[in-house]
């Protein structure tokens, strides 16, 4: 009930009582005049009836009138909580949990890579320092990759809304008909683009799709996975690198997708410091990050650094509905 409505009800109740008091006093005065004018014996029926009526009126006048009951606002209140009010006031920082899955595949059956395990371990360590709850996995076959992604999906589904989730992968990747695939280390059975659909992880469905249904308020997909000739039947004449992966549409939450290089291009595994070129500069930015550093701004800085320092041109796609920092806090714009 609003303050104005409450005041109206109280005023109405007060006026009703005042009117009853005035009526009661008026009736008593009339009765007294009536007794003075009418002469009848004590104990007459008329006097008893009149006395009874006056007493009844006095009793009714002393009874407080019931104010109008307040309207039922429970349903309206619930509706407002669901539709009118955000969970946190705009411009206010609120704490969130930070969860990450980091995978690095190096020991491939075909075309081993030098740095992905170094990349994964260093990224995991850096994210842990920033407060993330990190699961790091290395050299996974197909089933192990699917299991790790499934477990991560369950963790994100179990988290409260608005938390931050990061998926990082370093290793071989390829595309078929505009769809992206991440290769497990048992890649010797992949000899054609058709085999990718059976023996590799479909990134667009299993990674991007996973992020779409989770509770995380900010989802980040980082793929340093655009190596050249990733399987036995591949060649430079085939589609190279990864295809563009637009963030999946969500009713709520922010999404950020970062590739080590532009769609259709390949990324170098031989960057400085025993890391891939993209991951080297990613680590540089993350290690300098402060709790107040916004995550999307950090990835923008990585993109710019890689572009300036190497021949690679990273690709970054964002859809932001709130802004989160590395201090475990988010803010609605």
CATH code, 169: 3.40.50.1460
Residues 146 and 256 in one domain: yes
Q: How many domains does the chain have?
A: 2
Determine, yes or no, domain membership for 88: no
CA 132 to chain centre: 16
Mean pLDDT is lowest, of 107-116, 243-252, 315-324, for: 243-252
Q: What is the separation, in whole angstroms, between the first and last Cα of the chain? A: 31
Residue that terminates a domain, selected from 69, 86, 107 = 69
| Alpha-carbon dihedral angle through residues 74, 253, 119, 137, given to the nearest 10 degrees | 50
Place of tokens 């550093």: 293
Determine, yes or no, domain membership for 80: no
Question: How far is Cα 90 from Cα 114, in angstroms, rounded to an integer?
Answer: 46
Residues 193 and 137 in one domain: yes
Categorize the per-residue pLDDT at 124 as very low, low, confident or very high, splitting at 50, 70 and 90: very high
Determine, yes or no, domain membership for 107: yes
pTM above 0.85, yes or no: no
Residues 218 and 303 in one domain: yes
Residues 52 and 143 in one domain: no
Residues 149 and 284 in one domain: yes
**Alpha carbon of 188 to those of 123, 170, 192: distances in Å?**
28, 18, 11
pLDDT surpasses 50 at 71? no
Determine, yes or no, domain membership for 90: no
Determine, yes or no, domain membership for 15: yes
Categorize the per-residue pLDDT at 126 as very low, low, confident or very high, splitting at 50, 70 and 90: very high
pLDDT surpasses 80 at 23? no
Residues 47 and 165 in one domain: no
pLDDT (tens digit per residue) in 260-308: 877 667 666 666 778 988 999 999 999 999 989 999 999 999 999 999 9
Beta strands in the chain (DSSP E): 94-95, 98-104, 133-138, 164-170, 173-176, 179-182, 201-202, 218-224, 254-259, 315-319, 323-324, 329-331
Determine, yes or no, domain membership for 82: no
Residues 222 and 267 in one domain: yes
Residues 111 and 209 in one domain: yes
Residue 44 structure tokens? 């007459």
Determine, yes or no, domain membership for 217: yes
Residues 34 and 119 in one domain: no
Bridge partners for 166 per DSSP: 100, 220
Nearest to 321 by CA among 309, 305, 330, 333: 333
Residues 62 and 110 in one domain: no
Burial class of residue 31 in the structure, from the number of CB atoms within 10 Å of its CB (0-12 exposed, 13-18 middle, 19+ buried):
middle
What residues have CB less than 8 Å from 8, skipping those under 6 apart? Answer: none
Residue 133 structure tokens? 């709850």
Residues 134 and 25 in one domain: no
pLDDT (tens digit per residue) in 218-234: 889 999 986 665 666 66
Residues 99 and 60 in one domain: no
Determine, yes or no, domain membership for 229: yes
Host domain of residue 147: 95-331
- The residue count of the chain comes to 333
């Amino acid at each position: 009930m609003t303050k104005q409505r409450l005041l109206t009800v109280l005023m109405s109740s007060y006026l009703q009582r005042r009117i009853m008091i005035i009526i009661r006093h008026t009736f008593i005065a009339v009765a007294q005049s009536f007794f003075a004018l009418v002469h009848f014996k004590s104990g007459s029926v008329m006097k008893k009836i009149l006395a009874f009526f006056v007493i009844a009126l006095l009793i009714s006048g002393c009874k407080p009138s019931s104010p109008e009951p307040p309207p039922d606002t429970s349903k309206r209140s619930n509706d407002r909580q669901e539709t009118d009010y955000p969970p946190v006031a705009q411009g206010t920082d609120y704490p969130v949990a930070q969860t990450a899955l980091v995978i690095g595949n190096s020991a491939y059956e075909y075309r081993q890579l030098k740095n992905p395990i170094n990349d994964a371990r260093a990224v995991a360590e850096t994210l842990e320092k920033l407060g993330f709850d990190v699961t790091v996995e290395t050299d996974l076959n197909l089933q192990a990759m699917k299991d790790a992604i499934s477990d991560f999906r369950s963790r994100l589904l179990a988290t409260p809304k608005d938390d931050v989730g990061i998926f990082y992968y370093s290793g071989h990747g390829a595309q078929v008909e505009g769809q992206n695939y991440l290769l497990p280390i048992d890649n010797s059975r992949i000899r054609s683009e058709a085999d990718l659909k059976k023996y590799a992880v479909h990134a667009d469905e299993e990674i991007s799709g996973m992020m779409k249904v989770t509770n995380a308020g900010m989802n980040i997909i980082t793929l340093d996975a655009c190596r050249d000739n990733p399987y036995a039947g591949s060649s430079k004449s085939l589609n190279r690198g990864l295809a563009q992966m637009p963030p999946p549409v969500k009713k709520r939450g922010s999404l950020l997708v970062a590739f080590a290089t532009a769609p259709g291009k390949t990324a170098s595994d031989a960057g400085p410091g025993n890391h891939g070129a993209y991951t080297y500069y990613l680590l540089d930015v993350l290690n300098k990050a402060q709790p107040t550093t916004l995550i999307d701004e950090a990835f923008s800085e990585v993109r710019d650094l890689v572009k300036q320092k190497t021949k690679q041109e990273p690709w970054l796609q964002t859809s932001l509905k709130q802004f989160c920092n590395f201090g475990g806090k988010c803010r609605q714009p």
